[in-house]
Structure 1
């Protein structure tokens, strides 16, 4: 491995490239993991059996693991919750650094996968036959697991966006469901005027929501080509976003309540937070966390930046990947394919997951499923349509985890001070680029 590459991401606290010296940078095919693995090799591994250690926090995998073991009695799936997102990534980094205790399979969110792919911390699944699955997934998730010619994970779920809104509140104040973001601002004004305690949504600055809305607006702020990176938050799409969202901030039309807090759940329940633009994985959280508002809420397509358009974006979602230092590659891949493309998908959908697989998104059974919480609405029709409307070509930085960690110190200031959103984005851009340069990336201005 070149010395330059060894410097990359050294300070992330998430991926340690130096630990990969012997394995990820070996010269032989066996060392690099790039040998071709046929279906017969995978089947032979299943027949032989063994233990597959899976690090994941996603709850539906518990049943998937049990079903996999029942189908392949000689295989034991050791499912470990090593923490949610950042906590797991830190544990994974520590294991990679020590070259000890690295799992065979790891859940890695789409925004974080790029840094693992760049440093070859996860195996390219192409040699295992993953390429044949390309048409099986909706565009957003599949694009997220690819890097260059490699496939570094299989999509586990997806988060096409929609607008969740409180119909009871909207009906009470005779507010029409907004079809555009300009109408959304108007609805925010009307609602807050009618009830000064009520807000159109809650937002104290969230990197995931911001990047998703930029994505939907047609912005392409991130450029990433190997070790070359660039950031530009001033393109036409970004200007659409900042101009509209700045109105909500200037007029104090969004609730200053932190997402996922007790007050947030309370606001969703009592109508003081009237909408959520968020991913299609949200229904289960409503059903479990906002039980008192069952029947009040509905789902609508995401408002558009241009009237008459039909564009969405992804918000959240994870892959299952094979850490390069993990073992049992054939057996691990067999589990990942089962969970993310095989029989495990139906199991996960039944238990509340939102699929990334096209056949499931398009199935009548899936689309016609009524949601009692949403008054019997067949919300999956809206979610599935949203998944088809996600623009391709979106990229994250290969150190997006770090970039997101400084969001509140940069863009977040626009939510608590007189800083303009565009200024906050410029600060985020500058500090993210400075970090990239410090880590050895070639920064394009």
Structure 2
């Protein structure tokens, strides 16, 4: 997941809620997929560009221009500004699953069944991916990679601490955290500073939580008494109070990569896209890491959740919408999907997840472990749907303002109080945007 800055997301949200559409012709007057044309794609995932050559060889009249408009927060701002201005928007855009509803509801995306994305095709994806692109019974993106969660842990550090197997439950995780911290004051089972709403929501999802319910303009928010939220709060407050996690190191910083490399941050419960980042940014730990299922909340539980993952969505009003959809379909449903999977993307198609070719791949960084088996099982265990707010990008932007001190200065605020404050802010903003918001 990526951290949103407040200023960035505020720009994105204010533009989105105007309900404007992209520049160019509407789908009904746009060019057919057979016409000679250039499709512009905004995507930060570098493997999307690697699929272009294969697509263009099959569609010689279509040129695909992939542009990195910045990581998700930067791209969302640029897209929103283009939608507002009525010019400069791409034909196709990469979106995190949690951002799809906001752009779809604000009329910024084309519904894809008109181009041939059928319910039968949708059923070929994991439940997490299906949920990620489905908004108000419409389909607003072609999934290009998932984020089924797993526990990536440094086996060398775990063994040194006397944790001889990966924690199976969150109670086991808590006990492991105590043993790892006993190695020294700068050894922690993980880091968390309250900067990433997506991480918290993923763990609440896995705990069976449903803090958001959206039905048209009616929204219910329950970040105070939802059972899944309570599971999350009880565990992480205990870890905070007992100083068992690193609350100072921010994710996606040099210090974070260094801590993962030297073992001072001994594990991450995170989306299945993380291995590529570990290999490239924390190479020092090569051979030491392993992957295990996400710890569960009871011995009989098998639930997992999505953390990250996303889709390629056709921007509303694109003059090349049909061709843009064809490229998205090639990348996420056709032959191009193999290109992404071969380069480390976790597939969303169940046929790929269950294939021997995908499952039986030893990974040197993980000591020769076939970690895709763990990721595939996690994807299957994402059993319940999870709704995001129609202004989730904004919600993520204000999350640190309300939560971070619960981690970094726990004497000033508890995690429960932080979530209650976040709920109040989300309610206020939703009402200002014309939603009817109730709380539980």
The alignment's TM-score, normalised by the length of structure 2, stands at: 0.92
CA distance in 2 between counterparts of 1:193 and 1:81 reads 44
Q: Is the 8 A contact 2:141 2:312 kept in 1?
A: yes
The secondary structure found in structure 2 opposite 1:202 is coil
In 2, Cα distance between the equivalents of 1:330 and 1:11? 26
The answer for the alignment partner of 1:141 in structure 2 is: 129
Q: CA deviation at 1:210?
A: 0.2
1:373 aligned to 2:374? no
Contiguous gaps of at least 5 residues in structure 2: 1-9
Partner of 1:161: 149
Q: State the distance in 1 between where 2:245 and 2:234 align.
A: 15
**Corresponding residue of 1:389:** 381
Could you say what the CA RMSD is over the residues aligned between the two structures, in angstroms?
2.0
Matched, 1:240 2:231: yes
How far residue 194 of structure 1 moved from its aligned partner, in angstroms, is: 2.7
- Per-residue CA deviations over 1:143-171 (Å, capped at 9, x if unaligned) read 11001221011111100000001100111
Q: Of 413, 429, 434, which residue of structure 2 is paired with 1:435?
A: 429
Q: 1:122 and 2:109 equivalent?
A: yes
| Residue equivalent to 2:258 | 266
Number of residue-to-residue matches in the alignment: 423
Contact kept? 1:104, 1:332, Cα under 8 Å: yes
Per-residue deviation, 1:46: 4.1
CA deviation string 1:200-245 (max 9, x = no partner): 0011112111000000000000011122112101211111111111
Query: Is residue 342 of structure 1 aligned with residue 334 of structure 2?
Result: yes
Are 2:200 and 1:199 equivalent residues in the alignment? no
Residue 93 in 1 paired to residue 84 in 2? no
CA distance in 2, matches of 1:10, 1:60: 28
* 2:57 paired residue number: 70
Q: Does the CA contact (< 8 Å) of 1:96 and 1:325 recur in 2?
A: no
- What is the Cα deviation at residue 182 of structure 1? 1.0
Q: Could you give the per-residue CA deviations for residues 348-375 of structure 1, whole angstroms, max 9, x where no partner exists?
A: 1112211111111010110011111101
Q: 2:401 is matched with which residue: 391, 409, 414?
A: 409
CA separation of 1:78/1:345 partners in 2, compared to 1, >3 Å: closer, same or farther? same
User: Is contact 2:19–2:106 with CA below 8 Å preserved after alignment?
Assistant: no
The answer to whether residue 208 in structure 2 is matched with residue 218 in structure 1 is: yes
Aligned to 1:103: 90
Matched residue of 2:151: which SS?
A: strand
Preserved contact between residue 22 and residue 315 of structure 2 (Cα < 8 Å): no
Q: 1:21 to 1:139 in 2, by over 3 A?
A: closer
1:188 match: 177
Q: Is the 8 A contact 1:156 1:355 kept in 2?
A: yes
Mapped to 2, the partners of 1:353 and 1:18 lie a distance apart of 32
Q: How far apart in 2 are the matches of 1:231 and 1:75?
A: 45
**Residue deviations 1:12-47, cap 9 Å, x none?**
234153533999xxxxxx95x5x7x9xxx9xx9443
Q: Are 1:17 and 1:121, in contact at CA under 8 Å, matched by a contact in 2? A: no
1:247-286 per-position Cα deviation (integer Å, ceiling 9, x unaligned): 1000111112111111111111111111100011011111
Mapped to 2, the partners of 1:247 and 1:429 lie a distance apart of: 22
Cα offset, 1:11, TM superposition: 8.0
Q: Are the aligned partners of 1:110 and 1:145 in contact in 2 as well (CA < 8 Å)?
A: yes
What is the CA–CA distance in structure 2 between the aligned matches of 1:261 and 1:17, rounded to whole Å? 34
Residue 316 of structure 1: how far off its partner (Å): 0.4
**What is the TM-score normalised by the length of structure 1?**
0.91
Q: Which whole-Å CA distance do the structure 2 matches of 1:414 and 1:124 have between them?
A: 40
Q: Aligned-pair distance for 1:292? A: 1.2
Q: Determine the structure 2 residue equivalent to 1:5.
A: none
Q: Is the 8 A contact 1:102 1:325 kept in 2?
A: no
Query: For residues 407 and 51 of structure 1, what CA distance do their matches in structure 2 show?
Result: 39
C-alpha displacement at 1:120, in angstroms? 1.6
Query: What is the alpha-carbon distance in structure 1 between the residues aligned to residue 81 and residue 138 of structure 2?
Result: 25
Contact 2:23 2:86 (8 Å CA) reproduced: no
What is the distance in 2 between the residues matched to 1:438 and 1:10? Answer: 16
Structure-2 residue corresponding to 1:280: 272
- Specify which of 422, 433, 445 is matched with residue 416 of structure 2: 422
C-alpha separation in 2, matches of 1:364 and 1:156:
20
